[in-house]
Amino acid sequence: MAEYLPTEPYRGTRDFLPDEMSVRTQVFHRLYDVLERYGYQRYDGPQLEPVEIYEAKSSQEIVSQQLYTLTDQGGRRLALRPEMTPSVARMIAGNAGKLTFPVRWYSHPNCHRYERPQRGRVREHWQINVDLFGSAGTAVEVEFFELIHDMMGGLGATSDMWLLRVSDRVLLNALLTRIVEVPEDQVRVTANLLDRWEKVTDDALAADAAGIGLSDKQFARLGEIVRDGTAAVAELPQELREQSRLMQVLNSSAADLVTFDPLIVRGFDYYTSTVFEVFDTNPENRRSLFGGGRYDNLVGLYSAKEIPGFGFGMGDVTLIDFLNTHGLLPEPRTNVDVVVIPTRETLFEPARRAARLLRTAGMRTTTPLEVRKLGKELSRADKAGARAVVIVGDEDWATEQVTVRSLISGGQRKVSLKDVTSVARAILDDHHV
């Protein structure tokens, strides 16, 4: 018995058939439209990068557990990109002399991580990355928060469906060292505990806190920060609060765009101050959708020039889950508009002429590749979603006419070839002949 190769894709990757690809394309193009209206320009980069650019600043989880790595024939250690931010920082550093700052760029890269596949996590994903380089002002934060509101609105999401939660790495470090009295060498592991706060039980949190050396008093103080971060920040010295870009935003008219939340930590080491995440508010999908923040030192890995950056990555898996949860996914657009049917092989040439006219007019048009009975072709056209057919028959074509039939109403009329596009368009627009 013959053995065949498997038809399933590699675990954690996905096939996208035309209907699903149509939905994804519509979703992403809505986001592209919003981004380009803000002046962001699209770019791309290689899928293979030196491992070192991730070892320098990506999260330890990605570096130690999730990188797909290889060694090329020249002995160079490479990785399939797990994220785009180190790559774009490299590109900015390498082209800084030719760029006019601030730079607004976006991309839609294919990224790879060796994840344990589950809801919201796969091993290959697509991610819209949005970055701005060259400005350290709080206007950057405000622009990004407004941009995110417009991107979510462009997908049909209302403000009650999601929440933009923000924090500040500088403020968080101050809260941990000054209020909780965590030693500097424990700040990182304590921040990781905060990052898990909503994901595990109180008993597990208490056990983890004890495991990293926090006293009961420190753990209780940490809980107070979680319950009322604004009040905790108010205890910090005024000069420190005034230096925070996020605090400046929260004290401005843009404050209603965000919710302050000290639980927002973000796992990447390159974030330097403002960090944020967007969350679904639906109880059936209450999770983080995407996030980002400010990284003022990342370009410094490649150049002595200081170029501050701010950006985020919006992954396709959680985004599609969010839209599906809220009933916001568009309908697929895979149907053809018109099918041109020759009734004899000798009529394929005029059928091609008619099809070309329809395509030139912007209608999605197909023709059969072989002659079948007219009834079967009409049935196939209906299954393909066509709303009109153009029938090229012997008697009609003898006078250079064709029959245009509506598959919606069943009505039809004979027209000359020059009128075929206007009659077909009327059917598509108004469902009548």
- The predicted-structure confidence for 128-151, as pLDDT tens digits, reads as follows 999 999 999 999 999 999 999 999
Each residue of 277-315: pLDDT tens digit?
A: 999 999 999 899 999 999 998 898 898 888 999 999 999
Assess whether pLDDT exceeds 70 at residue 433.
no
Assess whether pLDDT exceeds 60 at residue 431.
no
Q: Where are the domains of the chain?
A: 18-325, 338-430
What sign does the dihedral 312-315-316-320 (CA atoms) show? negative
Q: How many CB atoms lie within 10 A of CB 381?
A: 22
Residue-wise burial string across 259-273, b where 16 or more C-beta atoms lie within 10 A, e elsewhere: ebbbbbbbebbbbbb
Mean pLDDT within 12-35: 97
d(CA 131, CA 288) in angstroms, rounded, equals: 20
Which parts are annotated binding residues?
83-85, 113, 127, 131, 266, 270-271
Each residue of 205-260: pLDDT tens digit?
A: 999 999 999 999 999 999 999 899 889 889 999 888 888 889 999 999 999 999 99
Q: What pLDDT is recorded for position 270?
A: 80
66 touches 267 (CB < 8 A) = no
Each residue of 328-353: pLDDT tens digit?
A: 999 999 899 999 999 999 999 999 99
Residue-wise burial string across 229-239, b where 16 or more C-beta atoms lie within 10 A, e elsewhere: beebbeebeee
Mean pLDDT within 402-407: 96
Element (H, E) at 428: helix 420-430
DSSP 65-100: II-EEEE-TT--EEEE-S-SHHHHHHHHHHHGGG--
Which parts are annotated binding residues for L-histidine?
83-85, 113, 127, 131, 266, 270-271
Of 89-103, 177-191, 260-274, 383-397, give the lowest mean pLDDT range: 260-274
Residue 118 zone, left/alpha/beta (φ > 0; ψ -120 to 50; rest): beta
Q: Indicate the average pLDDT of the chain.
A: 93
Chain position carrying tokens 């090229």: 392
DSSP 372-398: --HHHHHHHHHHTT-SEEEEE-HHHHH
Q: What pTM does this model have?
A: 0.89
396 touches 419 (CB < 8 A) = no
d(CA 319, CA 317) in angstroms, rounded, equals: 5
Domain at 338-430: CATH architecture: 3-Layer(aba) Sandwich (3.40)
Each residue of 196-218: pLDDT tens digit?
A: 888 889 899 999 999 999 999 99
CATH H-level superfamily of 18-325? Bira Bifunctional Protein; Domain 2 (3.30.930.10)
Assess whether pLDDT exceeds 90 at residue 12.
yes
